Amino acid sequence: MIPEASADLEEFRTLDVDNRAVLPYTTTVRLLVRSQDVLHSWALPALGVKVDASPGRLNQIKLYSHRPGVYFGQCSEICGANHRFMPICVEFISPLDFLNWAQRAEF
C-alpha cells in the first residue's frame, strides 16, 4: 500500500500499489496462486474474479480483458493483522506495449 505521506491526490491510496501487475489485454493470461502462511483470497470484483490461496495447494485462474484499463481489488479474507489493507492492482495494456514493457522491466 502506498504510504499516506507520499500519495498524490489522483491516487487511490488504499487501493493503488507501487508495482502494478501489468498484463496484455485481448490475451488470456493464466495465473498460479499459492500461499505459504495463511489463507488469502485474491479478488478483483470488476473482472468477476476471486480465488483462494491456501497453504500447500496450488490454484489457477484465467484473466482476460477486452480493453485497456486499471482494475483494483483487495484481499477479501481476514487472514492476519492489516491484511484488509492488502491491495491488488492489475493494469491491462496493449500487447505491443506489453512486449516493450517486458523488455525494459527489471524482474
Residues 62-106 have pLDDT tens digits of 999 999 999 998 887 766 666 666 888 999 999 999 999 999 987
Is 6 or 43 the better-scoring residue by pLDDT? 43
Residue 66's identity, in one-letter code, is H
What's the rounded Cα separation, in Å, for the pair 78 and 90? Answer: 22
What's the rounded Cα separation, in Å, for the pair 12 and 107? Answer: 25
Is 8 or 46 the better-scoring residue by pLDDT? 46
Is CATH 2.60.40.420 the classification given to domain 14-104?
yes
Number of Cβ atoms within 10 Å of the Cβ of 33? 16
Per-residue pLDDT of 23-62, as tens digits, reads 999 999 999 998 888 888 888 988 999 998 888 899 999 9
- As given in the structure block, the three cell numbers for residue 24 are 496484455
